[in-house]
Structure 1
Amino acid sequence: MATSAQTLNDWTRAAPQGPAALVALMLLGVVGSTGFAWALSSLVVENGGALAALGLAAALGLRGVAAWGQARVAGRRARRICAAVRDRAVTRVLDRRRGAQETIGVDIAACVDEVEALQGYYARFAPAALEARLVPVAIALAVLLRSPISAAILVATLLPLVAVLALAGGAAGQAAANQLEVLARLSGLFVDRIRALPIILAFDAQDQVADQVAQAADGVAHRTMRVLRVALISSAALEFFAAVAVALTAVYCGFALLGLLPFKPPERLDLAAALYALALAPEFYAPLRRLAAAYHEKQLGEAAAERLHRLVEGEPARPVAKARAPLPAPHIIMTGAIRAFGPEQIGPVDAEIAPQSLAVILGPSGSGKTTLLGAMIGAEPLSAGEIRLNGVAASPDLDGRIAWSGQAPVFAPGSILDNLRAADPTLERQQALAMLNRVGLTEALSRWPMGLDTPLDERGSGLSGGERRRLALARALLKPSGLLVLDEPTAELDAECEAAVIALLREAARTRTVVVATHSPDLAAAADTLVRL
């Protein structure tokens, strides 16, 4: 796999506009700087008069134009690169097929936050790195023409600056990677919780989710402060060494002019040459200072590129899992099944449910009926004992192969017909109407404003509790599975509707194994097998 630096370089080379314009503007800035140094020395030493003053103004203007042009060209180029990366990343995220436990939030956050981190890399650090390689060499050559010793001092003092950059880079890189990681977690958590907001509200979990988001936000704040500390310390160190290097040049020039050097210099330095070298010394270190100021952008960019690489560079889409065959009507055997919760436990339960029969789990509220249903389909792990379906232990692999309807039905955003077709994609409108009639929703259907096309949200807003349960029951009955598991399907129904549902379940038990948790004595009376908790 390519390193993050290689990835960033690849994206740079793919940009529609190369660095030629930036190089030309940087060299124009060097011309302005050397013109400024010449004009200043002429004005002070040689009494250049109006010509020197005009040259000074022209040099300052030239430097300003070059700096403005660099910022504009670099910004435009960065926006183009980031737009191309974002387009490819978003396309990959939307095309990618996900497993049941994966969410889209972190990847979408990467397409926004981490691509934004690339903006700083391409707009500030990359131009600064190019300038730091080009401009000091040009300035040193310009100084070499007037004072070889001053040029040698400038070049020699680069070594501690490079060492400080390397030391600061390691610490800043790790801090930046940690910051992006916690920021991605926060963004992904927020996106996923917003998508699940109706379910969160349905289960009254607002406080828990708010605590999760608050903890994630605190983590981001902590990591961000750590990054800022590293950046400030490294910038201060670089400024110190740059100031010391300029001071060394000034000391050499001053002592050489006064004849106080402890050795005989191999050059004869006059005041004009000394002023020229001193005027260019800050310009020699200015690109390095800008590089140091933008070094944090490098670490953020590399960390972002490492995380974005899997999205942009063609991570293979997950193969679509083949549809598994529906579970045939199972023979269910429970042997010493126990589910413990600290000092409390459910069971042991021993029971046998014949295939193609109606089994009812009966017990008071809190006795563990719903938990036992979950253990039967592999959603709740047993603490002891076992539950076997057709001789195979219950496991999460049953998910998607059974028909299920719980106490708090959840619907997919879409129409009533869309939700019924989630169980059977081949369902025709007339078949859907017939099933709604069988579960007693004909009258309700006439009241719904758009009939089968009435839109639903996740909680089934607009439907009564009984209507939601019966719609969920219709969806479960439409799913072609030999195991039908229902939790309180007759709750909130009047006697007439309850009798109709019981008859429907008895009919379903002719071809399926139907397991129901209930409080209803009438439903219990209709059972082939009764399991009491």
Structure 2
Amino acid sequence: MTTDQAGTATVEAREWLGAAATPGRRWLLSAAGCQALETAFTIVQWTGLALVAGDVLAGDRPSWLGLGVLFGGGLLAAGATWSTARFQAVGRQRIAHALRRRLVAGLLPAGQRDGEPDPATAALATVELTDDIADFHAQSTPQRLSAPVSMALILSVTAMLQWPAAVILLLASLLIPLNLRLAGLFAKEGADAQAAAGARLAAVVLDSFRGLQTLRNISALERRRSELARAAADLNATTIAVIRRASLSGAVMDVVITFSIAANATYIGLSLLGYVRMGAAPGMTLFRGLLALLVCPMYFQPLRAMAASFHSRERALSAVPAISGFLAEPSSNAERVSPAGEPVTVVLDNVSLRFPTADEPTLRGLNLTGQAGSWTAVAGPSGAGKTTLLSLIAGVRAPSHGTVQWLTPTGASAPWLGGCAWIGQQTVLLPGSIGDNIRIGRPDAGRADLERAVAAAGLAEVVARLPLRLDTPLGEGGWGLSTGEARRIAIARAFLSEAGLWVLDEPTAHLDADTEAQLIVALRNATRGRTVIVATHSTALARSADLLFGLSDGTIHTVREETRV
């Protein structure tokens, strides 16, 4: 990469990083305002402390005014601090959530890619690098916006108390930008090395887990253990280097700050003793001197925070190339139709799909219409492309040629993720109660909604015999469910989502005949008025469909069509 290309990439990374803050910007602006208020209230608090200290040193009892100002300012400052942390946390959460939503959409196989994403890099981007970006914005944005206001306020107060002390602060602050620049240069090199070492370790760990049986069979465990140790040692070394650079830049700043505070303390002390007199400066009193000394360290606090944010900024910039390549662009819902509660007609018009690495299309020239409120089944041998076809209908993939549309009375749109209910061969049960697992279909569902979903899925008898009914825990240490019962959990989730389109991928696979028959009845009951597209090998499930297609050699043909009343 040439110097010009590197410069362009850096500018683009900075622009992308700035745009990533948009989902949480409103909250971070509120945090900046609270941070400035915290500075103002802290000055009030120190004013009260100076009044109380002056009274005590003079041998008098502290005045009620001084105590009131001290405790009132402290409470207000604590409230502003709490509000700052709260707004920062919400802003950080919004940014991370928005990035992860785009990552999930980008990592799914929708659209055309030159190749599949590297699993280790994708996992690192989703789990760690997203947090690096959100942490940077949550830390730096409020500080960057509030620092000028806070520093100007402190400098103004110091100038009103003793303008020579303000001059000392101003002269010392002129040395800070050079230190911040050095901190940024140190941080960038270290952050790049740390990101590369982290990605390598993640790749080695993931490959080790995926190929553990093979490594054991070829007696390569010891060699892989050594490789893991080297990767971990590289990450440890780069992390220590980052800490060392941060400590060095922090030490330089500490010297400047310490010198400034010491100079001010010396000036104030000599002025109080009468050794130094500046005719144009206000008369030095104990109150003025104490308050100037108390607010002096506050002047440098925003600068210290900004120096620390240089390290998080370079970590975030290092994360941008790794994460931005996976992201899907934010999409607008303005042109989407919502199938929830509405009949949906699915139309495939001359649809073909060819994977980037394949020589021939997997699917070609498909024309299919799934009428609203009907069952459409697709049968065919394994590897014929049934699951791929369902992924096109559900919006997981985009066709290479042709169009897939969802038609409802309110309009038409291309399929979009989350717009339909999907039930596959495997039902994932998460730690929690049965109710929690069903509520995944609609997190805000109430108890009555859950009970309707349970009844629709044919789970009522199963739930009735459980010790805690819907609150019965599942998983390790909890209740176990059979494969058929787990599928009914999936049906209840889909019913709760109120989707008008259900896409089913071998929903009765690996079930005995009796359980399959019961599940078909449950599916029929739960999908009344819904459109169902199902891929299956099951003769019984194919017979229950209103329209049956056969899929072979990438093409589709009608096998049977009948009208059900």
| TM-score, length basis structure 2 | 0.53
Give me the whole-angstrom Cα distance separating, in 2, the residues matched to 1:52 and 1:75.
34
Question: Could you report, residue by residue, the CA deviation over 1:43-90 in whole angstroms, capped at 9, with x for unpaired residues?
Answer: 334666122112111112222222222122112211110111122123
Please give the residue correspondences for 1:76-87 in structure 2 after superposition, counting only pairs within 5 Å.
76-87=90-101
Give me the whole-angstrom Cα distance separating, in 2, the residues matched to 1:279 and 1:88.
47
Residue equivalent to 1:162: 177
1:39 to 1:288, Cα distance in 2 relative to 1, 3 A: same
Residue equivalent to 1:220: 235
- The residue type equivalent to 1:205 in the other structure is A
Give me the whole-angstrom Cα distance separating, in 2, the residues matched to 1:12 and 1:55.
38
State the SS of the aligned residue for 1:3: helix
Residue equivalent to 1:280: 295
State the SS of the aligned residue for 1:311: coil
Question: Could you report, residue by residue, the CA deviation over 1:197-217 in whole angstroms, capped at 9, with x for unpaired residues?
Answer: 344344443333323222211
Give me the whole-angstrom Cα distance separating, in 1, the residues matched to 2:242 and 2:78.
32
Unaligned runs of 5+ in 1: 327-416, 427-452, 456-479, 481-533
State the SS of the aligned residue for 1:95: coil
- The residue type equivalent to 1:11 in the other structure is A
1:262 to 1:163, Cα distance in 2 relative to 1, 3 A: farther
Aligned to 1:30, which of 39, 45, 64? 39
Question: Could you report, residue by residue, the CA deviation over 1:450-479 in whole angstroms, capped at 9, with x for unpaired residues?
Answer: xxx889xxxxxxxxxxxxxxxxxxxxxxxx
User: Are 1:93 and 1:104, in contact at CA under 8 Å, matched by a contact in 2?
Assistant: no
User: Are 2:188 and 2:314, in contact at CA under 8 Å, matched by a contact in 1?
Assistant: yes
Give me the whole-angstrom Cα distance separating, in 2, the residues matched to 1:132 and 1:319.
54
Residue equivalent to 1:444: none
Give me the whole-angstrom Cα distance separating, in 2, the residues matched to 1:323 and 1:233.
53
- The residue type equivalent to 1:189 in the other structure is V
Give me the whole-angstrom Cα distance separating, in 2, the residues matched to 1:264 and 1:203.
88
Confirm whether residue 58 of structure 1 aligns to residue 61 of structure 2.
no
Please give the residue correspondences for 1:320-469 in structure 2 after superposition, counting only pairs within 5 Å.
320-321=355-356, 323-324=358-359, 421-422=382-383
* The structure with more radius of gyration: 1
Confirm whether residue 208 of structure 1 aligns to residue 218 of structure 2.
no
Residue equivalent to 2:19: 10
Give me the whole-angstrom Cα distance separating, in 1, the residues matched to 2:21 and 2:148.
17
State the SS of the aligned residue for 2:223: helix
Give me the whole-angstrom Cα distance separating, in 2, the residues matched to 1:152 and 1:166.
23
Give me the whole-angstrom Cα distance separating, in 1, the residues matched to 2:200 and 2:94.
27
- The CA deviation at 1:106 is 1.4
Residue equivalent to 2:52: 43
Confirm whether residue 172 of structure 1 aligns to residue 187 of structure 2.
yes
Unaligned runs of 5+ in 2: 1-8, 331-352, 362-378, 387-508, 512-552, 554-565
Residue equivalent to 2:136: 121
Give me the whole-angstrom Cα distance separating, in 2, the residues matched to 1:133 and 1:303.
27
User: Are 1:109 and 1:187, in contact at CA under 8 Å, matched by a contact in 2?
Assistant: yes
- The residue type equivalent to 1:175 in the other structure is G
State the SS of the aligned residue for 1:7: helix
Residue equivalent to 2:443: none
State the SS of the aligned residue for 1:170: helix
- The CA deviation at 1:183 is 0.1
Aligned to 1:260, which of 275, 282, 285? 275
1:113 to 1:153, Cα distance in 2 relative to 1, 3 A: same
Residue equivalent to 2:262: 247
1:261 to 1:118, Cα distance in 2 relative to 1, 3 A: same
Residue equivalent to 1:354: none
User: Are 1:106 and 1:189, in contact at CA under 8 Å, matched by a contact in 2?
Assistant: no
Give me the whole-angstrom Cα distance separating, in 2, the residues matched to 1:34 and 1:103.
53
User: Are 2:103 and 2:326, in contact at CA under 8 Å, matched by a contact in 1?
Assistant: yes
State the SS of the aligned residue for 1:260: coil
Give me the whole-angstrom Cα distance separating, in 1, the residues matched to 2:138 and 2:164.
35
- The CA deviation at 1:261 is 3.5
Aligned to 1:291, which of 302, 306, 314? 306
What's the Cα RMSD here? Answer: 3.3
Give me the whole-angstrom Cα distance separating, in 2, the residues matched to 1:82 and 1:219.
28
- The CA deviation at 1:265 is 4.6
- The CA deviation at 1:224 is 0.9
1:87 to 1:145, Cα distance in 2 relative to 1, 3 A: same
Give me the whole-angstrom Cα distance separating, in 2, the residues matched to 1:214 and 1:319.
41
- The residue type equivalent to 1:321 in the other structure is P
User: Are 1:108 and 1:188, in contact at CA under 8 Å, matched by a contact in 2?
Assistant: no
Deviates more, 1:272-281 or 1:10-19: 10-19
State the SS of the aligned residue for 2:152: helix
- The residue type equivalent to 1:8 in the other structure is L
Question: Could you report, residue by residue, the CA deviation over 1:351-386 in whole angstroms, capped at 9, with x for unpaired residues?
Answer: xxxxxxxxxxxxxxxxxxxxxxxxxxxxxxxxxxxx
User: Are 2:113 and 2:356, in contact at CA under 8 Å, matched by a contact in 1?
Assistant: no
Give me the whole-angstrom Cα distance separating, in 2, the residues matched to 1:104 and 1:207.
24
Give me the whole-angstrom Cα distance separating, in 2, the residues matched to 1:454 and 1:197.
27
Confirm whether residue 74 of structure 1 aligns to residue 88 of structure 2.
yes
Give me the whole-angstrom Cα distance separating, in 2, the residues matched to 1:14 and 1:76.
10
Aligned to 1:269, which of 284, 292, 297? 284
Give me the whole-angstrom Cα distance separating, in 1, the residues matched to 2:90 and 2:360.
55
- The CA deviation at 1:314 is 4.5
Give me the whole-angstrom Cα distance separating, in 1, the residues matched to 2:282 and 2:354.
74
Give me the whole-angstrom Cα distance separating, in 1, the residues matched to 2:153 and 2:26.
24
User: Are 1:103 and 1:192, in contact at CA under 8 Å, matched by a contact in 2?
Assistant: no
Aligned length: 337
State the SS of the aligned residue for 1:324: coil
- The CA deviation at 1:41 is 3.0
Please give the residue correspondences for 1:462-501 in structure 2 after superposition, counting only pairs within 5 Å.
none
Question: Could you report, residue by residue, the CA deviation over 1:363-420 in whole angstroms, capped at 9, with x for unpaired residues?
Answer: xxxxxxxxxxxxxxxxxxxxxxxxxxxxxxxxxxxxxxxxxxxxxxxxxxxxxx99x9
User: Are 1:179 and 1:223, in contact at CA under 8 Å, matched by a contact in 2?
Assistant: yes
User: Are 1:146 and 1:273, in contact at CA under 8 Å, matched by a contact in 2?
Assistant: yes
Deviates more, 1:200-209 or 1:59-68: 200-209
State the SS of the aligned residue for 1:320: coil
- The CA deviation at 1:320 is 3.4
User: Are 2:32 and 2:143, in contact at CA under 8 Å, matched by a contact in 1?
Assistant: no
